[in-house]
Structure formats: C-alpha cells, structure tokens
Amino acid sequence: MGIPWNPDNNGYANVSRMNSPLKSSADARPKTSSAESQPQNASSNSKKDGNRSEITFSARKPIYRLSDIVLANQVKQQIRILISRIRNHKLLYETWGLKRIDPQGTHIAVNFYGPPGTGKTMCAEGLASELQKDLIEVSYAEIESKYVGDTGKNIRNAFQRAKECDAVLFFDEADAILGSRMENVTQAADHAVDVARAVMLKELDSFDGIVVFATNKFEKFDRAFIRRILQHIEVPLPDEESRLKLWQTLFVSDVPGRDTLDWQQLAKGSEGMSGGDIKNCVILACSEAAMDPQDRIAFAAEAGEQIEESQNPEKAVNQEICLRSLRKVQRDILASRGNKSTVVTQTLTREEYEQEVKKC
C-alpha cells in the first residue's frame, strides 16, 4: 500500500507548493493549452481564481433509458441485480441484517468495463434514469490539475456536489483515477498522484450514494479500489443477435429505404464491431444516401464500384450503400490497430476479420 497518505491538505505539506505544473511518470498527459487542461462538458464548469481554475460540478438529466440500450442478456441481468440492491436496501440491510457484515453498505459503487464503444457510458445514463436521479459526469481530464493538491480537491468537490444533489456520480476513464498506486515515489508529481488516489479511497468509503465508473482498461485498477466496488460488470462486444438489434435500432424509422435492408447480412458482416462502430456505419450510409444520384455514382466509382442511377434514383439507403459504409469502418478499425495496408474489398467473415486483426 505504500506510505499511508493523509488526503487532507496538511498531509502533503512536504510537497513543493510552488504551483508548478505536474508531470507524473505514470500518468503524464500533455497539456497544450489551459483550455485542454480543463475541458468542460454539461456536468462541469470552471471558474478562474487567480491563475487557477476552480471546477464546479452540475447535475443534469440523463439522456438515455435502460430500454434504449442494446445489451447482452448477462449484462442486463447484472444491472437488474444492482438495481435490486439499491431499491431493496432497507430490506437487505435492516430486515435481513446485512448491515452486520457490511456496515458501510449505504454507498454503492459499480464499474462498467469493456472495449470502447460498447455502451458503458449509456449504462451509467440508463442506471440514473431508472433510479429517477440526475447525473454528474466527471472525466479525469476535468479533475486533473497541474497545481499540487488541486486534483484531490476536485475529487472531493465532485462527491460533495453529488451528495447535495442526490445525484449519481459517474467517473469516465476511471483507470486514470483508480490505477495502481506507485511503490517508489521519487518526485512531487508522483506523490500528488498517489494523494489524489488516496482521496478517492476516502471519499468512496464515506459517500452514502451511488458512484459509477467506466473504463476500457480494467486491468490497471488498484486492488484497493476493486475491493470497494460492489459490482464489476463487463460490457462486451455485441453478439450477432445484439448486432442485428443495433442495426435495426440505429436505422431509425424515418430513414427512407430501411425496410429494404438485409438485417441478417449486416449483423453477420459486422462481427467484431462495437455498437459505436455500427453507429458510424449508419451515419456514413445515411450521409451517402442523402447525396445527389450523380455524386453518389461518382463516389462509388472512386471506391472501385459501379452503380447505375436507375438502381437508386431516390435519396434512400440500400444494401450496397450499407455494405460500402461497413467496409469503410472495418478498414478504419484495422488501420487503427496498425494494419494500414489492408484494403477490405468485401464484407469480412469472422475468421477473416480475426486473421486481419492478428496481423496488426
């Protein structure tokens, strides 16, 4: 566990208070401007205090409901168990006596983990909506400060605001906050990073509310945090049934031509893709379908394909457009993994896609 840090200000009085920028050897992040070092979203704002930015956190209504999210059955079941614990807290901890084995059971923490684009953030939104609570969303980029001690203060402020609003507190990119603490602290920046994580531990232990984490890198979590989080729910890449539902859901009913699409082919052809990837396919396909017919013919020609204007004279999606967008996104995925020479000329099967991934 290392040195038992006291997260209060006096606990790190030996750290340099020169207000110099911190660069942790474990969590260094480049800062090109003050705007990038303190990004804002709907849940937080920055107020200038001299040369520092004081972050205030605001609650908002969740955007999604659980019924809006396409999830595997095992994920839905884990979320139902979580909701049951929250709604039946009095029964569990008073009537059934679980308080005797879990005195700190008034706080609930859950971690959604899995590949990017699988719906972890939407799960946090859906959970807040199901519980009829507002949401305070926090990312590490927002609470990290280049000033010694301010990151811990921002963490405390986030918890305090969630308590005042009775809101669900959601930390995105949680691996940056809950990562393993350093065994060999050699500089003030490392010291401050460990102090910030100690603050998080203390706040988790004392918070009587709901905290949600999301991460793509669960393996980086410190074991002290793993123990304090009741449920770790994996949100995996969608199976074929879920992908079929995703295609049908994302192509909303107002899109012309959606009734002509072969959903089974699209579901099979998108093996290994996340819901976010499929959403990108849908947006690309709709954007191409909205082009003038002559422009669309030229666009297809550039992609090495030939279509006749009579095949699709109206502004509407069709199977060929969808497959073209699917191939484009697959190429992007492979390129992002290092295989920039791959040219996908047809929809890949699962085996072909996995073979291409192994080449990266």
Instruction: Tell me the pLDDT tens digit for each residue of 158-200.
Output: 999 999 999 999 999 888 888 765 455 455 455 666 788 889 9
Provide the mean pLDDT of the chain.
78
User: Where residue 307 falls among pLDDT bands split at 50, 70, 90?
Assistant: low
Q: Where is pLDDT greater, at 155 or 312?
A: 155
Domains and CATH numbers, the chain: 34-234 (3.40.50.300), 240-359 (1.10.8.60)
User: Where residue 103 falls among pLDDT bands split at 50, 70, 90?
Assistant: confident
Q: What is the mean pLDDT of residues 232-261?
A: 96
| For the ranges 10-24, 106-120, 168-182, 194-208, the one whose mean pLDDT is highest | 106-120
- The answer on pLDDT for 357 being more than 60 is no
Q: What is the share, in percent, of the chain residues with pLDDT greater than 70?
A: 70
3-state SS string over the chain?
Answer: CCCCCCCCHHHHCCCCCCCCCCCCCCCCCCCCCHHHHCCCCCCEEEEEECCEEEEEECCECCCCCHHHCCCCHHHHHHHHHHHHHHHCHHHHHHHCCHHHCCCCCCCEEEEEECCCCCCHHHHHHHHHHHCCCCEEEEEHHHHCCCCCCHHHHHHHHHHHHHHHHCCEEEEECCHHHHECCCCCCCCHHHHHHHHHHHHHHHHHHHCCCEEEEEECCHHHECHHHHHHCCEEEECCCCCHHHHHHHHHHHCCCCCCCHHHCCHHHHHHHCCCCCHHHHHHHHHHHHHHHCCCHHHHHHHHHHCCCCCCHHHCCCCCCCHHHHHHHHHHHHHHHHHHCCCCCCCCCCCCCHHHHHHHHHHC
Check residue 8 and give its pLDDT.
Answer: 41
- The answer on pLDDT for 360 being more than 60 is no
Q: What is the pLDDT of residues 118-155, one digit of tens each?
A: 999 999 999 999 999 999 999 888 887 756 678 888 99
Q: What is the share, in percent, of the chain residues with pLDDT greater than 90?
A: 50
